[in-house]
Chains A and B, each alone.
Chain A
């Protein structure tokens, strides 16, 4: 337990330092939270931090300073393991928070049970982004292994989103090939043979596809696909929804080892408030699928097509899927070892 206490002891000092630099020197130290998150959540958490502070002060509390850090989900997890003083982590997939729990003692092993819906306040899925008019006629996963089709997806070893991409493809293959794992391996091998560039992160893959003009189809987070349409232009790309995809749950957790009492109170409220109707509406407006549509604008809530979603539990949860598919010598490595 000693490291736990050590980390615990350092947190207030850091908070005091951060508060001191941001707002001069207030009479009493202001509470500061560091939210360590993955790449595509920038826009959402910027808006949510304001929403939370308004609600928090309306409850009669002092305002809170919330710092954000974004990057590839795996790299962010490693930063927390190596001692980054995060109070809250909001990452792309459960296995990255599992990795924090497994490689350090700042997050308890059963973190995922503490909040509703596997600690995932919002979800997303994997869809295809194709060039305007869909010139290659791509409708479903089976079309991606055709001759002359180029598929853009990042490397699942370095990108959280790419792991969801891979499992979505695997899920479709199992469903259409009567659960034959050899056939699924063969399918994914053909799929990755059509990948000309393996970027290290989801934003990099989006850039390769959208700005560099490489490839016919991008396997993307649904929220990234909508964002690309909104930012780059609806006349450039179309979204194609496959028959089967995966329920991608980006989870959130308290970093227990880095909290003092006041931070615990604020951070707990910060994560719980993500499930409030207002925050859920905000997630929907940022193209995430959320659980509670009561306060959302109808166009935000009705944007998402119905499709058959496999869930990570079908692969035994991340604790099993991570080493089996993406570990050293796992299924993804087998694809590239011929």
Chain B
């Protein structure tokens, strides 16, 4: 079945791949799923059926979607500006974009809370307008936009760099307006990368814990995210309920990523490879 490759080292490479995948990904996930299977569907549902769990799951996925959609638009814009224009400080901005990867997310959460709390630098300006960011759902969005932004920028950036200006010039000589060129020529070429970036940002935001718990008010049914509810269940030594919520998150995330992948496959068939 496996045709011998002319490249050497396939056996060794594949062995290392499978071992790493098993140790780091499959074993922990397998344990989680195994616990769930032992519990059985009835008990699983009992742990998930409450209003509080439902609110937490809806909140987690809704905020992740909102933040990733925001990042999709503004990440594209940022990547475009960074690759298409030359301006002083460009490299600095480019380097700064990676900070959300490197910074412990708790630090980001505390910094954002300090700025957007009612007595913080920005919070003070927003309060007279009746706007509150920290300790509301908007605060969760803010934290998730922070952690997810580099994923979109870093996946789209190399693709924009690869786009030959001749495509756009050809489009212009054929009489297309700038907007039409963007929508009909450039965007279709970027779509697969954009979707990948969106999926990565989404996956990252759904499970984000460190930054969110500082800026969310953590009120049950209102601003309590699903990962926090898992921690709360663990603190109660209720490992079954924690497993159930973990499995629900795993299932929903998997379905969403699958959907995005299918969408990508469909798009590739329609547009063809870039």
Nearest to B47 among chain A residues (CB) is A328
Complex interface residues of chain A between 50 and 103 (CB less than 8 A to chain B): 74-75, 78, 99, 103
Residues of A within 8 A of B234 (CB): 78
Asked if B217 and A157 sit within 8 Å, CB to CB, the answer is no
A155 to B229, CA, bound (A): 11
A214 to B114, CA, bound (A): 11
Question: Known contacts A197-B217, A197-B218; is A337 also within 8 Å of B235 by CB?
Answer: no
Question: Known contacts A157-B232, A198-B219; is A212 also within 8 Å of B120 by CB?
Answer: yes
Asked if A212 and B114 sit within 8 Å, CB to CB, the answer is yes
Residues of B within 8 A of A211 (CB): 114
Residues of B within 8 A of A328 (CB): 233, 236, 238, 241
Contacting B236 at CB < 8 Å: which of A200, A214, A327, A337? A327
Asked if A212 and B119 sit within 8 Å, CB to CB, the answer is yes
Question: Known contacts A212-B113, A212-B114; is A158 also within 8 Å of B120 by CB?
Answer: no
Asked if B235 and A197 sit within 8 Å, CB to CB, the answer is no
A172 to B1, CA, bound (A): 75
Residues of A within 8 A of B51 (CB): 337
Contacting A326 at CB < 8 Å: which of B52, B224, B236? B236
Asked if A199 and B119 sit within 8 Å, CB to CB, the answer is no
Residues 190-216 of chain B: 1 if any A CB is under 8 Å from the residue's CB, otherwise 0? 000000000000000000000001100
Asked if A336 and B118 sit within 8 Å, CB to CB, the answer is no
Asked if B135 and A199 sit within 8 Å, CB to CB, the answer is no
Interface assignment of A146: CB less than 8 Å from any CB of chain B:
no
Interface assignment of A233: CB less than 8 Å from any CB of chain B:
no
A158 to B113, CA, bound (A): 21
Contacting A212 at CB < 8 Å: which of B50, B134, B221? B134
Interface assignment of A195: CB less than 8 Å from any CB of chain B:
yes
Interface size on B (CB < 8 Å)?
29
Complex interface residues of chain A between 292 and 338 (CB less than 8 A to chain B): 326-328, 333, 336-337
Residues of A within 8 A of B235 (CB): 74-75, 78, 157-158
Asked if A337 and B213 sit within 8 Å, CB to CB, the answer is no
Chain A nearest CB: distance from B39 CB in Å? Answer: 15
Nearest to B217 among chain A residues (CB) is A197
Complex interface residues of chain B between 21 and 60 (CB less than 8 A to chain A): 50-52
Give the A-B contact count at a CB cut-off of 8 A: 62
Interface assignment of B252: CB less than 8 Å from any CB of chain A:
no
A78 to B235, CA, bound (A): 8
Residues 49-84 of chain B: 1 if any A CB is under 8 Å from the residue's CB, otherwise 0? 011100000000000000000000000000000000
Query: Which of the listed residues A74, A197, A199 has the most CB atoms from chain B within 10 Å of its own CB?
Result: A197
Question: Known contacts A212-B113, A213-B117, A337-B52; is A198 also within 8 Å of B218 by CB?
Answer: yes
Complex interface residues of chain A between 171 and 199 (CB less than 8 A to chain B): 195-199
Asked if B117 and A212 sit within 8 Å, CB to CB, the answer is yes
Contacting B219 at CB < 8 Å: which of A74, A195, A212? A195
Residues 114-137 of chain B: 1 if any A CB is under 8 Å from the residue's CB, otherwise 0? 100111100000000000001100
Chain A nearest CB: distance from B243 CB in Å? Answer: 13
Question: Known contacts A212-B119, A214-B117; is A103 also within 8 Å of B219 by CB?
Answer: no
Residues of B within 8 A of A75 (CB): 235
Interface assignment of B237: CB less than 8 Å from any CB of chain A:
yes
Chain A nearest CB: distance from B223 CB in Å? Answer: 9
Nearest to A75 among chain B residues (CB) is B235
Interface assignment of B231: CB less than 8 Å from any CB of chain A:
yes
A214 to B123, CA, bound (A): 12
In the complex, besides A197-B218, A328-B233, 11 extra interface pairs with C-beta distance below 8 angstroms are A78-B234, A157-B232, A157-B235, A197-B219, A198-B224, A200-B213, A200-B231, A212-B117, A212-B134, A327-B236, A336-B221
- Interface pairs (22), CB distance under 8 Å: A74-B235, A103-B237, A157-B232, A157-B236, A158-B231, A158-B232, A204-B214, A212-B114, A212-B120, A213-B117, A213-B118, A213-B119, A214-B117, A214-B118, A214-B119, A214-B135, A333-B52, A336-B52, A336-B220, A337-B50, A337-B51, A337-B52
